Structure 1
């Protein structure tokens, strides 16, 4: 009977020890996986911050938004003159096209990339749509013969601002040589597409300029 008790006690001790070891290993494995997940998330965040890449979720949201804005007036009956591709805008910037003005209407996302298209005027869409007159007054004479609007993806804010600007300028007959002669365009794909195409170009210093501290603070 004594040896039976000892044997049972030994088996119970072994089972308990095995349970403790198994639990400890599972906890160690779980903590390792959690740490790995955090490291991957941090790495993705760093890569996105410095490469300017767009996540699947953002791209999916952008595509969904495209369907929602398809029926907006600025797509159904645009008063602006159409799209300009990133390659064409880059060529204009490289040759210093006379009368070219780029208007960046991004709002909260303006400082995300830490840079903007070279020479671009920043006018947040939220404020610009409330009052276009300062921009209209600034784009007179030889400046503003070709005005290119863009936001992050040029799906809603960019086209909407271009629509309202064209409506105001052409309705009043103002602009460079008259509103009808001022070409109002939208950058296809927005800043994201332009940055993807030329963010690593050999002459990127001609196509982009860094945001100064004042511009960054405005976006915070």
Structure 2
């Protein structure tokens, strides 16, 4: 069995570089899981998959099995303080359990949490339509 998979943080710039790299394909080389719910319609990172945290946590084994062949998986929420890290940690725990039980073969996957979440990412890259889409800027000036 491979070593235990533990989520680590990824900076906005590194994720932006992946998205802009023509040799990296979203949902093949990496996947971005946006676990926001009510605030998702106010903007998102390009190529992300929105799965609200409650739905994700209720079906975690399904998502582990579905994403197991993607080498890099990035989780985020609005600020990546609660929902994003919780989903990343539960994903890693479930993946490790399935590997240990022999229910899935040895894989090479890294699990990340986007530091600062969508708020930080859109603050840096909101003017780049290849990185941020559907942005309603007024919402993010005072979202909570």
Q: TM-score, normalised by structure 1?
A: 0.52
Tell me the number of residue pairs that the alignment of Structure 1 and Structure 2 aligns: 124
**Residue in 1 aligned with 2:134?**
210
Query: How far has the Cα of 1:209 moved from its partner?
Result: 3.2
Q: Distance in 1 between matches of 2:7 and 2:74?
A: 10
Closer, same or farther: CA 199–184 of 1 in aligned 2, 3 Å: same
Q: Is 1:124 aligned to residue 52 of structure 2? A: yes
Could you say what secondary structure the match of 1:137 adopts?
helix
Higher strand content, 1 or 2: 2
Which segments of 5 or more consecutive residues in structure 2 lack a partner in the other structure? 136-144
Q: Is 1:110 aligned to residue 40 of structure 2? A: yes
Could you say what secondary structure the match of 1:107 adopts?
coil
* Misfit runs of 4+, over 3 Å: none
CA contact (8 A) 1:119 1:209 kept: no
Query: How far has the Cα of 1:153 moved from its partner?
Result: 0.3
Q: Distance in 1 between matches of 2:86 and 2:52?
A: 12
Larger of the two Rg values belongs to structure: 1
**Residue in 1 aligned with 2:62?**
134
Q: Distance in 2 between matches of 1:87 and 1:207?
A: 11
Q: Deviations over 1:122-165 (max 9, x none)?
A: 11001111121332232133xx2100000000001000000000
Higher helix content, 1 or 2: 1
**Residue in 2 aligned with 1:186?**
113
Q: Distance in 1 between matches of 2:113 and 2:34?
A: 10
Q: TM-score, normalised by structure 2?
A: 0.77
Which segments of 5 or more consecutive residues in structure 1 lack a partner in the other structure? 1-78, 212-220
**Residue in 1 aligned with 2:12?**
86
